[in-house]
Amino acid sequence: MPSRILIVEDEIFVASEIEQIVAEMGHAPIAIAADRASALRHASNTDIALVDLNLRDGPTGLDIGKILAQTHGVSVVYLTANPSQLGDGVPGTIGVVSKPVAERDLRDIVNYAVARRAAADAAPPRRLKLFSWSGGNAIHT
């Protein structure tokens, strides 16, 4: 069954590319959200969210990911050029990948998030830094 994936990104060209890749993988890109209000509007229909930190309404991505994961049970992976802004991470979320993200890496990240959501064993992608409470504390570089 395809996963419903929310893309939280305010750069439309980046968001559109992610949307296309997600669709090619057979998943359902449910929306592109450029700010907190639009991201949270789609929370109840989302399985996985790919979340940037700095959005149209400022640095709201950290809180968006936290709310999606902790309140709505969404599997969250942060995609950001500023991973250090997350410190040790956000409880309930999977991890972070530094942008830019190559298509192959994005596919690996989505596949990993899908597997984690299904409670299947999966090795984390090489570029994904897992948060310690998300099932592993190794940093993959």
Q: Where are the domains of the chain?
A: 4-134
Confidence of residue 88 (pLDDT cuts 50, 70, 90): confident
pLDDT digits (tens, 9 = 90+) for 113-127: 999 999 988 999 999
The CATH T-level fold of domain 4-134 is: Rossmann fold (3.40.50)
Residues in the chain: 141
CA–CA distance, 116 with 105 (Å, rounded to integer): 16
Average pLDDT in the 34-50 region? 98
| Range 37-41, long-range pairs (CB < 8 A, 24+ positions) | 39/6, 39/8, 39/64, 39/68, 40/64, 40/67, 40/68
CA–CA distance, 44 with 134 (Å, rounded to integer): 21
Confidence of residue 33 (pLDDT cuts 50, 70, 90): very high
pLDDT of residue 132: 76
Amino acid at the residue 84: S
Q: Where would I find the H helices in the chain?
A: 12-24, 36-41, 61-72, 103-117
pLDDT at 7 over 60: yes
Confidence of residue 133 (pLDDT cuts 50, 70, 90): low
pLDDT of residue 101: 95
Query: Apex CA 101: angle with CA 33 and CA 43, to 5°?
Result: 25
